[in-house]
Amino acid sequence: MKPDVLQLKALSPQLEAGLEAAYTVHRPYRAADPEALIGEVASKIRAVVTGGDLGVPTELWDRLPALETVAVHGVGLDKVDLDLAAARGIAVTTTPGVLTQDVAELAIGLWLSLSRRLVSADRYVREGRWPKGERLPLAWRASGRKVGILGLGQIGKAIAAMATPFAASIAYHSRRPVEGVPYAYHASPLALAKAVDVLFLVTPGDAGTPPLIDAAVLKALGEDGLLINVARGSVVDEAALVAALADGTIAGAGLDVFEDEPNVPQALLAMENVVLQPHRGSATVEARSAMAALVLENLEKHFTTTHSSSRP
């Protein structure tokens, strides 16, 4: 019999087709009564497939007594209770590596779009304001700026490599210095913000701890500073960011993630000094195809190993 899998959100057609072929898939988000569906199948669910933005809701863990593995379509684990999973012997997998370049590209794209005011200039043309001679504010030069990266993992290193032709210098902060990199290390987010003009956020989010980027860090980044967040909304004090953008504490922000997705503060929607994206760092044909294949591979390895180890 096919193992029973609980899929918590819509995913790519490639992944869903692969799941259908190998498993008995239950999708509560498609059901008229999601809670009733989960109640009917909970006792036989052996795997959960979810996204990094959703994770596994806290209330769901105790309802799945047969759960063996959680397959995350993405790299974010801030919404998966890893301590609980470890205590229950539940394997948790992600899709690292295959989306690194894509997220880094979007981060660089946000920086360039924000610096050169590409989005607002596009609106200026589309709305017919150019022939009317309306004034369009000047942009900022992207090259020659001091770049900081908060979180020098795979994606952070890819951003650093892509930024190198533009940047005057590159610095970073991680929990500890990273060996073998040529970039300056700063001991805290505050110290890093003081030293740079453009601050990229690529560090894992943790909803249980205070935001790493608060009003003090934003003030340190300064009135010419740009903030680019492709990490998690929980990394930033969103209210402090809105205030800093509104009063000129920083010059602008490029944001792919938010505190309460998909809800974006109305104040941000009205600002010209921000570029907004709907959490789509990995949203390329290439990355999503590779992510789907890796989710299926992770599940196959789990069930193959489990089945083999249970044989007499």
Ranking 171-175, 292-296, 305-309 by mean pLDDT, the lowest is 305-309
CA angle 173, 175, 177 (to 5 degrees): 65
Does the pLDDT at position 309 exceed 90? Answer: no
* Residue 267 three-state SS: helix
Tell me if residue 261 is catalytic.
yes
Q: Tokens 């590596």 label which residue?
A: 97
| Beta bridge partner(s), residue 48 | 6, 70
Over residues 19-44, the mean pLDDT reads 97
CB-CB contact of 164 with 171 (8 Å): no
Q: Is the pLDDT of residue 305 over 90?
A: no
Q: 273: part of which helix (H) or strand (E)?
A: none
Span 258-264, mean pLDDT?
Answer: 94
Instruction: Tell me the pLDDT tens digit for each residue of 129-187.
Output: 999 999 999 999 999 999 999 999 999 999 999 999 999 999 999 999 999 999 999 99
Range list of β-strands (E), the chain = 4-7, 24-26, 45-51, 69-73, 91-93, 146-150, 169-173, 184-185, 198-201, 226-229, 252-255, 274-276
| DSSP 8-state class, residue 236 | B
pLDDT of residue 298: 98
Q: Reply yes or no on whether the pLDDT at 73 is more than 70.
A: yes
Predicted confidence at residue 306, as pLDDT, reads 66
The residue type found at 65 is P
Bin 180: left if φ > 0, else alpha if -120 < ψ < 50, else beta: left
DSSP state of 300: H
Residues 232, 238, 288, 302: which is the catalytic one?
A: 232
Provide the CA 180 distance to its chain's centre, in angstroms: 26
Considering the candidates 73, 279, 288, 302, report the single residue annotated as catalytic: 279
- Residues 38-50 pLDDT 10s: 999 999 999 999 9
Give the homologous superfamily in CATH for domain 4-95+286-309: NAD(P)-binding Rossmann-like Domain (3.40.50.720)
177: preceding bond cis by omega (within 30 degrees): no
Q: pLDDT class for 208, splitting at 50, 70, 90?
A: low
Domain boundaries, the chain: 4-95+286-309, 100-276
- Mean pLDDT of the region 95-112: 97
Whether residue 227 is predicted with pLDDT greater than 50 in this model: the reply is yes
Structure tokens at 95: 């899709």
Calpha distance 263→97 (Å, rounded)? 28
- Lay out the sheet containing 169-173: strands in order across: 184-185, 169-173, 146-150, 198-201, 226-229, 252-255, 274-276
Confidence of residue 204 (pLDDT cuts 50, 70, 90): confident
pLDDT for position 299: 98
Selecting among 261, 272, 286, 300, the annotated active-site residue is 261
Q: Is 86 helix (H, G, I), strand (E, B) or coil?
A: helix
> What's the CA gap between 277 and 253, in Å, rounded?
11
pLDDT > 50? residue 226? yes
179 in catalytic set = no
Residue 119 has pLDDT above 90, yes or no: yes
Q: Do the domains spanning 4-95+286-309 and 100-276 agree at the CATH topology level?
A: yes
Would you say residue 296 has pLDDT above 50? Answer: yes
User: How many Å apart are CA 277 and CA 227, to the nearest integer?
Assistant: 14
Indicate if the pLDDT at residue 207 is higher than 90: no
How many Cβ atoms sit within 10 Å of the Cβ of residue 142? 20
- End-to-end CA separation in angstroms for the chain: 19
CATH number among 3.40.50.150, 3.40.50.720, 3.30.1360.10, 3.40.50.970, domain 100-276: 3.40.50.720
Is 279 part of the annotated catalytic residue set?
Answer: yes
Q: What is the pLDDT of residues 50-66, one digit of tens each?
A: 998 899 999 999 999 99
pLDDT over 70 (residue 311): no
| Mean model confidence pLDDT for the chain | 95
At 310 the pLDDT is: 42
